[in-house]
Structure 1
Amino acid sequence: MAEEKSIAIIIWVNDKEAGIKQREYLRALHIPDGYSAEMVEVTDALFRTEAYEKGRSQTDAKYKVYLDTKAVIINENILEDIIGIFNEDNTIGVLGLIGTEKIPTHGVCTWANKRIGKAIDYQGKKFEKGNFEADYREVMAVDGFWMATQYDLPWRTDLFHTDVYWDTAQCTEYRNAGYKVVVPKQDDYWCIADWNEQKKYDKASQEIFLDTYSKDIFPLVSVIIPTYNRPEYFKEALESALAQTYRNIEIFITDNSHNTKTKELMVQYLEKYSNIIYEHHPDFESMDNWNRARQYNNPKALYVNWLMDDDLFVPEKIEKMVDCYEQNDGIALVTSYRELIGAHGESFDNPEWKPAFNQTTRADGEAMGREIFVLGQNFVGEPTTVLIKKEYLHNNDLGFSGEEGKYFISDFPTWLACLQHGDLFYIREPLSLFRMHEGQSQRTPRSMLIGAICWGLEIEYAYKNKLYLHTLEDFEKALISWMKTVIFVFVTVREKQYESDSIDVLKALLSRLVIMK
């Protein structure tokens, strides 16, 4: 039974000299009226979680402060401040002095962008971030050099034997149990500690942490793969999605193959992976399959990334792109450079295939939307390239105007819709592989006609609604870039002797846009 008016300060004494100094500092602390306090020293532990678990089991105190041996409390009234915050809100489980609002996808909070709190180190360097309108702010995790609790949860001694990830894991345990993790408002510094110390990168502990907690702390990402009659390429694409270092992924596959080769291939994957949803629609035509892919919407997923069945993800793609969104405010679209590969996976260079930026860049969304139109180029990338934040989709669907109809193209209209809501984040390193091969539908006269019509419709919609194309000059620049493409399409159609009603649609659209003002 917990002693309601008792406080225990638990220290893992792995440095005798530091332990002696701690006793001196702790004797100076003011004990709140009506409360008792004790110091619990653990000297026979091999690692921190073992020490804290032993200390926890040695005391019946309701309130516990877990203190790093080298951290020094300099606020004499800290115990009173702790009790005051805990009494203010009985849903608070953990209190810490520096906290992380969004845990990075690699799990190391000291490297996160969104950190708040207040502390000073032994050299006098100060950490002071975040505005506090109330007595505390809620975070996802706090740094472990100083942690206070008002409820008991066991420490995960089964997971970590090194001094990394254990504090973030414990905060996640409390949050999973329904308790808040918070950082207090400090008028003056409460503690001196090595808050700026970079934690050692421990790959084994990272794998344990991410395997255990990814689904608790990171948003769900839907990967959508439409496929048709090419199981060899599809298998490579699926394997690249399954190889992602980001753990919280579901994979939705809609297959309109007119044979059962892909369906037979899927048997082994469905037996092994519970996060795959597979549908076979042999009666679907191409547009039916696209529409099924567009209709899929798991409300639990915050992000979606399409994966064309002949393209590939780099293993770190989703991890790095989610981190861009989560660690930076105001980002509407995250993309990257993509490498070209051939039919057999071989890399090759194309002088026209250049990165949009020479380094990782954050760019204004409005300006990027205008550039897409004025240059007549989709430099953001193909569907495989971009991680989409679902809340920025047009009516929760791909596309820009909602009027594309049968002339729908999945990529650049979607980017235009998203870029209305914020900035573009461009990662210079290649995070996806775009396959060039003879079987691509983009090279057919039909696809070229659809693409040209879609571009024209988007130009018309943007200028009429003053989205990106705010001036007549910008409209004319976009029109000139588009007309160059239209001429090339007409030449190709004539050379191929291709007949389609879409030719007349493109001609009518061209006439309409030329006289628009």
Structure 2
Amino acid sequence: MDLPLVSVVIPAYNRPHTLQIAIDSVLEQTYPNIEIIICDDSTDDRVQEMMVPYLHSFSQIKYHRNERNLFLANWHKCYDLASGEYINYLMDDDVFHQDKIKKMMYFFNEFDNITLVTSYRQTIDESGQFLPPMHATARLYQETRIMDGKMLGNVALACCLNVIGEPTTVMFRKKDLTELYGVYKGKQYSLINDMAAWLSLLSKGKAVYISEALSYFRRHPNQNNNTMGLQAFSEWLDITIASREDGFLNTNELYRTALESYRGRVGDHHQFVGDIARIEMILATLD
């Protein structure tokens, strides 16, 4: 087949029902050359049992049950097992639009120096019904845009919010991610590992933002995001500061905006006293 192989990689964990929906959304893709890599970090056998009929029927699905919980390393295992030229993570509770891969591959095939393609993502509830967008998932632009990668990175950094998309949303070329997924400038990020990967990719080329919904981001009570709380912000300051080495936030005005956004979002919470002091020192050097 002449079309490049796309690897859809799924780090699975204890959600057989939504995983089945996620897998079906990949099998229904209008792009024909796809493999599915599933690495199962579950604490029980429900996912493994659900996978049996799929493995009998679909040779393009590769399933691996971990002998012990790998946590972040499970993301790396999925990536390492992928044979495709292109990678798209898929969370086991999210869903692809049937044209997602085809429409994103168009930009890689037709334009030079594209290192990341993302899109608007529609928020859904437990049963798949549409929800109003959150601040992070609001449509960035009303039209599809190709832009410098650092420009899109700056949009996220300046508001201290991942407006680029969850792992499900983004497609990239495997060779362009030169550090492990979630590692940026040598540091492994655990709570914003997607942003770490996106900045690494955006520092190397152009980005595409597609204005139509090509994936569906499920919100539910057992979601990992709901357990992060303020802890997620503990990594934003480090990644904001590190991003300047790659040319993000390249003016004092942009850098100040990003730091003040962080300060505004964490408020006066005692957990971030050290971060606020650190920000004040940096801001003083920008005056």
C-alpha contact (below 8 Å) 2:122/2:130 kept by paired residues: yes
- Aligned equivalents of 2:37 and 2:143: distance in 1? 33
Return closer, same or farther for 1:229/1:397 CA change in 2, 3 Å cut-off.
closer
Secondary structure of the corresponding residue to residue 38 of structure 2 = strand
1:243 aligns with 2:28: yes
1:508 aligns with 2:274: yes
C-alpha contact (below 8 Å) 1:258/1:282 kept by paired residues: no
- Aligned equivalents of 2:78 and 2:238: distance in 1? 23
- State the Cα deviation string for residues 338-389 of structure 1 (Å, max 9, x = none): 1111011111223644211001111222222222211222221111001111
1:280-295 aligned at under 5 Å gives the runs 280-281=65-66, 283-284=68-69, 286-294=71-79
1:185-200 aligned at under 5 Å gives the runs none
Q: CA deviation at 1:484?
A: 2.1
C-alpha contact (below 8 Å) 1:399/1:408 kept by paired residues: no
Structure whose alpha-carbon radius of gyration is higher: 1
Q: Which of the residues 235, 254, 257 maps onto 2:42?
A: 257
Give the equivalent residue in structure 2 for 1:457: 238
- State the Cα deviation string for residues 482-513 of structure 1 (Å, max 9, x = none): 1122228x38xxxxxxxxxxx4xx54344333
Q: CA deviation at 1:466?
A: 5.4
- Aligned equivalents of 2:158 and 2:242: distance in 1? 14
C-alpha contact (below 8 Å) 1:460/1:513 kept by paired residues: no
- Aligned equivalents of 2:134 and 2:74: distance in 1? 34
Task: Tell me which amino acid in the other structure corresponds to 1:361.
Answer: R
- Aligned equivalents of 2:196 and 2:70: distance in 1? 23
- Aligned equivalents of 1:259 and 1:342: distance in 2? 25
Return closer, same or farther for 1:287/1:466 CA change in 2, 3 Å cut-off.
closer
- Aligned equivalents of 1:236 and 1:412: distance in 2? 25
Q: Which of the residues 175, 193, 200 maps onto 1:410?
A: 193
- State the Cα deviation string for residues 115-170 of structure 1 (Å, max 9, x = none): xxxxxxxxxxxxxxxxxxxxxxxxxxxxxxxxxxxxxxxxxxxxxxxxxxxxxxxx
Q: Which of the residues 108, 112, 117 maps onto 1:325?
A: 108
C-alpha contact (below 8 Å) 1:404/1:454 kept by paired residues: no
Q: CA deviation at 1:396?
A: 5.1
Q: Which of the residues 268, 276, 279 maps onto 2:53?
A: 268
- Aligned equivalents of 2:72 and 2:182: distance in 1? 14
Secondary structure of the corresponding residue to residue 131 of structure 2 = coil
Return closer, same or farther for 1:225/1:470 CA change in 2, 3 Å cut-off.
same
- Aligned equivalents of 1:507 and 1:281: distance in 2? 39
Give the equivalent residue in structure 2 for 1:484: 264
Q: CA deviation at 1:285?
A: 5.1
* Identical aligned residues as a percent: 34
C-alpha contact (below 8 Å) 1:335/1:427 kept by paired residues: yes
Q: CA deviation at 1:398?
A: 3.7
- Aligned equivalents of 1:351 and 1:262: distance in 2? 30
Task: Tell me which amino acid in the other structure corresponds to 1:302.
Answer: E
Give the equivalent residue in structure 2 for 1:357: 141
- Aligned equivalents of 1:285 and 1:404: distance in 2? 15
1:87-126 aligned at under 5 Å gives the runs none
1:366 aligns with 2:158: no
C-alpha contact (below 8 Å) 2:113/2:205 kept by paired residues: yes
Secondary structure of the corresponding residue to residue 217 of structure 1 = coil
**What are structure 1's unaligned runs of at least 5 residues?**
1-215, 492-502
Return closer, same or farther for 1:301/1:285 CA change in 2, 3 Å cut-off.
closer
**What are structure 2's unaligned runs of at least 5 residues?**
none
Task: Tell me which amino acid in the other structure corresponds to 1:287.
Answer: L
Give the equivalent residue in structure 2 for 1:195: none
Give the equivalent residue in structure 2 for 1:341: 124
Task: Tell me which amino acid in the other structure corresponds to 2:236.
Answer: W
- Aligned equivalents of 1:285 and 1:397: distance in 2? 14
Q: CA deviation at 1:266?
A: 0.7
- Aligned equivalents of 1:450 and 1:290: distance in 2? 20
Q: Which of the pair has the greater relative contact order for Cα pairs under 8 Å at 6+ separation?
A: 2
Give the equivalent residue in structure 2 for 1:472: 252
Q: CA deviation at 1:303?
A: 0.7
Task: Tell me which amino acid in the other structure corresponds to 2:65.
Answer: H
Q: CA deviation at 1:254?
A: 0.9
- Aligned equivalents of 2:273 and 2:40: distance in 1? 34
- Aligned equivalents of 2:30 and 2:230: distance in 1? 39
C-alpha contact (below 8 Å) 1:311/1:384 kept by paired residues: yes
- Aligned equivalents of 2:37 and 2:19: distance in 1? 13
Return closer, same or farther for 1:392/1:509 CA change in 2, 3 Å cut-off.
farther
- Aligned equivalents of 1:297 and 1:280: distance in 2? 13
1:23-42 aligned at under 5 Å gives the runs none
1:170-181 aligned at under 5 Å gives the runs none
Return closer, same or farther for 1:362/1:466 CA change in 2, 3 Å cut-off.
closer
- Aligned equivalents of 2:113 and 2:73: distance in 1? 35
Give the equivalent residue in structure 2 for 1:310: 93
Return closer, same or farther for 1:474/1:386 CA change in 2, 3 Å cut-off.
same
Task: Tell me which amino acid in the other structure corresponds to 1:255.
Answer: D
C-alpha contact (below 8 Å) 2:76/2:180 kept by paired residues: no
Runs (4 or more) in structure 1 with deviation over 4 Å come to none
- Aligned equivalents of 2:231 and 2:63: distance in 1? 29
Secondary structure of the corresponding residue to residue 309 of structure 1 = coil
Provide TM-score, normalisation by structure 1: 0.52
- State the Cα deviation string for residues 324-347 of structure 1 (Å, max 9, x = none): 111111222111111111011111
Give the equivalent residue in structure 2 for 1:150: none
